[in-house]
């Protein structure tokens, strides 16, 4: 299987999937990553016009799953999965510029017509069950967000907000905001150095907070928000900065004591709730 993709775009997807940032570690935060492996799936000509396809990139651990998609040129006529070592692949991509061709066989070959890099593929992702869960729901969750954003750009359209359904869990609370504002909120709350966050809506306002104790906390109110549905509160841990940065719009779906769902027109992040023991 061969596919062509812009080198910078692929690197950015791998960096987002790596989700390197702050993670909860007891009473403080530590620098870590979600996992060093990217489960990739190329969907080819069977579902798209000749020569066109989509690359899906997933990563996960036991409590978090994320997915990203990008249009590519490919000769694949079906679906080809492969697993990359993220750090190694980013290092091998660094010398290249512009468009690269990825050839997947017994190993991965990266070429731009002049330089050629070869690197081994990974045989198994350690969080395969979570990836299967996320990949099976990706398009169903993300496609309405893309349609919502398209309607926002259409002066004659009235955007229709769709509440998320994840498995058997129905969400009655959702909001839309910008990646910039979510990133600002997370960075502000990181003054507490905990990487544990609570998102709370009362039907009128939305706040993100981080609290070590009653006398040590930070609360950020999000102003540029479209809020839908019923009040809800949930707490989560770990990095979301890499996921939201640079995104024009992010949809957030929350439900008491249920997973957090963040979606953009081409990406999905699901985080299990933090439940106080």
Residue pLDDT, tens place only, 203-218: 889 999 999 999 999 9
Structure confidence at residue 51 as a pLDDT band (50, 70, 90): confident
For 173-204, what is each residue's pLDDT tens digit? Answer: 999 999 999 999 999 999 999 999 999 999 88
The per-residue b/e assignment along 227-262, b for 16 or more CB within 10 angstroms, e otherwise, is bbbeebbbbbbbbbbbbbeebebbbbbbbeebbbbb
Instruction: Give the global pTM.
Output: 0.95
Confidence (pLDDT) at 203 = 83
pLDDT at 50 over 80: no
Classify 138-271 by CATH class.
alpha beta
Mean of all residue pLDDT scores within the chain? 93
CB distance 65 to 127 below 8 Å:
yes
Q: Is pLDDT of 54 > 80?
A: yes
Residue percentage of the chain with pLDDT more than 90: 84
Whether 2-129 and 138-271 share one fold: the answer is yes
Q: Band the pLDDT of 157: cuts 50, 70, 90.
A: confident
Correct CATH for 2-129 of 3.10.150.10, 3.40.50.720, 3.40.50.1980, 3.90.226.30: 3.10.150.10
The domain ranges of the chain are 2-129, 138-271
| Confidence check: pLDDT of 65 > 80 | yes
Between 169 and 276, the higher pLDDT residue: 169
Structure confidence at residue 224 (pLDDT): 83
The C-alpha angle with vertex 175 and arms to 173 and 181, in degrees rounded to 5, equals 145
């Amino acid at each position: 299987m061969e596919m062509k993709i812009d080198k910078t775009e692929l690197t950015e997807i791998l960096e987002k999937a790596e989700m390197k940032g702050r993670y909860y570690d007891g009473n403080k935060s530590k620098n870590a990553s979600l996992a060093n492996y990217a489960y990739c799936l190329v969907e080819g000509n069977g579902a798209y016009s000749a020569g066109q396809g989509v690359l899906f990139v997933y990563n996960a651990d036991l409590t978090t799953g994320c997915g990203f998609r990008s249009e590519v040129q490919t000769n694949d006529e079906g679906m080809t999965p492969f697993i990359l070592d993220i750090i190694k692949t980013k290092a091998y991509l660094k010398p290249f510029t512009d468009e690269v061709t990825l050839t997947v066989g017994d190993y991965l070959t990266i070429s731009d017509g002049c330089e050629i890099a070869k690197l081994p593929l990974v045989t198994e992702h350690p969080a395969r069950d979570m990836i299967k869960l996320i990949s099976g729901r990706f398009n169903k969750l993300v496609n309405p967000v893309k349609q919502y954003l398209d309607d926002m750009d259409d002066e004659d359209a009235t955007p229709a907000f769709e509440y998320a359904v994840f498995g058997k869990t129905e969400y009655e609370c959702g909001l839309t905001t910008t990646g910039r504002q979510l990133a600002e909120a997370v960075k502000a709350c990181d003054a507490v150095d905990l990487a544990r966050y609570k998102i709370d809506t009362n039907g009128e306002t939305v706040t993100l907070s981080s609290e070590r104790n009653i006398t040590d906390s930070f609360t950020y109110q999000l102003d540029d928000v479209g809020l839908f549905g019923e009040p809800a509160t949930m707490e989560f841990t770990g990095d979301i900065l890499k996921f939201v940065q640079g995104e024009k719009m992010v949809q957030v779906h929350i439900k008491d004591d249920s997973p957090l769902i963040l979606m953009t027109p081409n990406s999905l992040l699901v985080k299990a709730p933090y439940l106080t023991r």
